[in-house]
Amino acid sequence: MKTIRVKVPGGAYPIHVGKDLFDQAGAILSEAGFSVPPILVSNPAVLRLHGCRLLRSLQASFGRVPRVVIGDGERYKSRATLSSIHEALFRAGADRDSWIVAFGGGVVGDVAGFAAATFMRGIPFVNVPTTLLAQVDSAIGGKVGINVPQGKNLIGAFHQPRAVLSDPAVLRTLPERELAAGLYEVIKCAAIRSVPLLDFLERNLEDVLNCRPAPLEHIIVAAARIKAGIVAADEKEKDLRVILNFGHTIGHALEAATGYRRFKHGEAVAWGMIGAIGLGTALGFPNGQESVRLVQLIERVEPLPSMRDIRFEKVWAALERDKKFRGGIFRMVLLPRLGEAAIRSDIDPQRLRHFLKRFLQRGGDVQAAVPIPARKSSHAGK
């Protein structure tokens, strides 16, 4: 088991990464100071596949563990789901000494974490992520919240977990599309902070997609370290932490414009990264060959859902409601070069409108985003 510590002002917490962590969860969390039974929040698919092992471990240490089952999918990251968790906590007799275990992907972690942040003005929670995207991104850093029709994550809080337990072995049960969605977030981490991680992904992509244990654990630990370091330096996203939003400005708008049904979160981020690369090229960033390299890696992972027939007006309206749009100014993360992100607050809205409209009209054609020379098929060697 490898452990990374997230050192935030309110106190450090561990990210444990290793095989068979579900079987060790009760002992690990008991040693961390928990003594009463947690309330487990999960979804039916995760409970069916992995619930027995985790519950057995938790019950051995804490006794009977009440369960709250929520829907599976981004559309369940909602006010209705949040309210259902609160009601279940009251039915279970929860109080200020209670705590939550969020057992699932990013939706479960975000909405269960927000329930913990708001119940009795805040109770502890632990993330046990079961998707690659959650293990490398959403389970770390304390951003919790829900979506509303106006946009993604517009209602939420910063509420750090007390621990994160990530078992790479669980990822073998993920559908290919879900695994790919998480891998786009790993690519994002590499793009903004680590050329060595990008090199590793290029060399070992097939092994990662086939869930080979060693390379899979390597990328989870590497991405977790990147995010832990950034969160420690800027817990509340005042400056540096914004770079984790590379690809998210356009990506979140695409999710909102399509009702959170067309794209997995990581897929929308992948399109958002391609769009951000194209915008950077349009603004004159001298990173042509590096941009080609990043787009080619994104393309190698999995075919992305189509962007055709998405109305520009809906995407633009979602952008204007984004948390990164302030006082008529867009803050976007762009890449002057690989491994080095830049937060730009000087983007002309009209220029962004023109670029984004063209990008959507061409269905996200990467040629519209960045000039790419002739190359082999995106999925050669898969």
Average pLDDT over residues 35-44: 97
Which of the pair, 239 or 127, is modelled with greater confidence? 127
Which whole-number Å values give the CA distances from 90 to 96, 138, 382, in the listed order? 11, 26, 49
Which whole-number Å values give the CA distances from 175 to 136, 179, 181, 284, 306, in the listed order? 17, 6, 10, 39, 19
CB proximity list for 323: less than 8 A, separation 6 or greater: 153, 154
Structure-token pair, residue 197: 């991680």
Q: How many domains does one find in the chain? A: 2
Of the listed 74, 178, 237, 255, which one is catalytic?
237
Which of the pair, 326 or 334, is modelled with greater confidence? 334
Question: Is there a single domain that holds both residue 148 and residue 62?
Answer: yes
Average pLDDT over residues 188-197: 96
377 in a structural domain: no
**CB atoms near residue 319 (< 10 Å):** 24
Parallel, antiparallel or unpaired: strands 329-330 and 332-337: unpaired
50 is catalytic: no
241 is catalytic: yes
Question: Is there a single domain that holds both residue 313 and residue 280?
Answer: yes
181 in a structural domain: yes
204 is catalytic: no
Helices (H), the chain: 21-31, 44-46, 52-62, 79-91, 106-118, 132-133, 176-193, 195-209, 213-233, 248-257, 265-282, 288-301, 312-320, 349-361, 366-369
Give the separation between CA 325 and CA 331, rounded to whole angstroms: 6
pLDDT at 367 exceeding the cut of 70: no
Question: Is there a single domain that holds both residue 189 and residue 332?
Answer: yes
376 in a structural domain: no
Q: Residue with structure tokens 């349009």? A: 282
Of 112-116, 118-122, 370-374, the one with minimum mean pLDDT is 370-374
Give the separation between CA 187 and CA 196, rounded to whole angstroms: 11
Cβ-in-10-Å burial (0-12, 13-18, 19+) of 311 comes to exposed
Parallel, antiparallel or unpaired: strands 125-129 and 100-104: parallel
Of the listed 188, 193, 241, 300, which one is catalytic?
241
Question: Is there a single domain that holds both residue 256 and residue 107?
Answer: no
47 close to 69: Cβ distance less than 8 angstroms: yes
Residue 324's pLDDT band, with cuts at 50, 70 and 90, is: low
379 in a structural domain: no
Last residue of a domain, one of 149, 173, 197: 173
206 is catalytic: no
Structure-token pair, residue 52: 């027995």
CB proximity list for 381: less than 8 A, separation 6 or greater: 206, 300
Any idea what the CATH number is for the domain that residue 364 is in? 1.20.1090.10
Amino acid 239 reads: D
Of the listed 50, 248, 300, 324, which one is catalytic?
248
Any idea what the CATH number is for the domain that residue 123 is in? 3.40.50.1970
Of the listed 159, 227, 264, 324, which one is catalytic?
227
Structure-token pair, residue 42: 């999960």
248 is catalytic: yes
Q: What is the pLDDT of residues 252-263, one digit of tens each?
A: 999 999 998 999
Average pLDDT over residues 134-149: 95
The pLDDT assigned to 323 comes to 65
Question: Is there a single domain that holds both residue 185 and residue 323?
Answer: yes
The pLDDT assigned to 220 comes to 98
Of the listed 265, 287, 290, 324, which one is catalytic?
265
Last residue of a domain, one of 173, 204, 231: 173
Structure-token pair, residue 110: 């975000």
227 is catalytic: yes
380 in a structural domain: no
230 in a structural domain: yes
Question: Is there a single domain that holds both residue 208 and residue 161?
Answer: no
Amino acid 86 reads: H
What mean pLDDT is reported for the chain?
Answer: 91
Of the listed 152, 153, 159, 185, which one is catalytic?
185
The pLDDT assigned to 375 comes to 44
21 in a structural domain: yes
Of the listed 245, 290, 302, 324, which one is catalytic?
245
Average pLDDT over residues 357-365: 85
Give the separation between CA 31 and CA 211, rounded to whole angstroms: 30
* Cα torsion angle, 143, 100, 123, 149, sign: positive
Average pLDDT over residues 111-135: 98
Residue 348's pLDDT band, with cuts at 50, 70 and 90, is: confident
pLDDT at 10 exceeding the cut of 90: no
Question: Is there a single domain that holds both residue 145 and residue 40?
Answer: yes
287 is catalytic: no
Last residue of a domain, one of 173, 202, 232: 173
| Domain interval for residue 193 | 176-369
Question: Is there a single domain that holds both residue 197 and residue 76?
Answer: no
Question: Is there a single domain that holds both residue 192 and residue 292?
Answer: yes
pLDDT at 325 exceeding the cut of 70: no
157 in a structural domain: yes
Give the separation between CA 5 and CA 228, rounded to whole angstroms: 7
Question: Is there a single domain that holds both residue 261 and residue 354?
Answer: yes
Question: Is there a single domain that holds both residue 181 and residue 325?
Answer: yes
Question: Is there a single domain that holds both residue 101 and residue 231?
Answer: no
pTM, whole model, 2 decimals?
A: 0.91
**DSSP conformational letter for 375:** -
Best-predicted range by mean pLDDT among 281-285, 316-320, 361-365?
Answer: 316-320
